[in-house]
Amino acid sequence: MTFQELYVLNRALDGQNIYGIADFSEVNIPDISIDIYKENMIKRGILKDKENFTVQGARILSYIKYYKLCDKYIMLNNLIVGKRTNGSMIALIYNPLIKDYKILPISSNVNVENIVKSYKFLEGISVNEEFFVEKIDSKELTIKYGYKKNNSLYLKIFDNVKENSYIIFLYSNIIYIYDEEEYVLKRIGKKQIIGILKKVF
């Protein structure tokens, strides 16, 4: 789904924000444009007509509703996992190349080792885990360490009370974790990252 299609679907619920998506209150899509998006959604089998959903569309809508009712959200780069108190999970996935969103239920048995393996910069690296702590602001961090998307993992945890966000990245064959709230940079090992993710999920 495009952002605009997600916006149209969300209007059928309550129009309130969806975690991890741009603030809908700042979006003003004219009715004429919404009609165009609805025409595209009819062609894609999401809508029967401009007022009624297909089975596929109703399923997507139920997923959005379920996602919005989650008690905790875990963001890993372009993936956000919503988790309910009963342990069930649903994922919102964004593909920046084609600017497309997908939302679907996932297994509650998350294999964090496989998640870590999917980030190649964490594999086969000689990690220096000696004690290291540095207080540094985010702008200086970018200049000094110059991490990039292909060698970093953005982790954010939100539990409807507080939000914590971290950047895990590789620099000179050493893996670091940066706490964006505390402005603290530390060295970290792969086993520690797996431990963090197991605790989060």
What would the two tokens of residue 163 be? 């939000």
Closest CA to 94 of 3, 201, 200, 197: 3
pLDDT at 31: 85
pLDDT at 36 over 80: yes
Q: How far is residue 176 from each of residues 75, 103, 129, 132, 145, measured CA to CA in Å?
A: 18, 31, 9, 9, 10
Domain boundaries, the chain: 3-106, 112-200
Q: What is the mean pLDDT of the chain?
A: 89
pLDDT at 126 over 60: no
Predicted structure pTM score = 0.87
What is the strand order of the sheet 89-95 is part of? Answer: 100-106, 89-95, 79-83, 72-76, 152-158, 163-171, 174-179, 184-187, 133-135
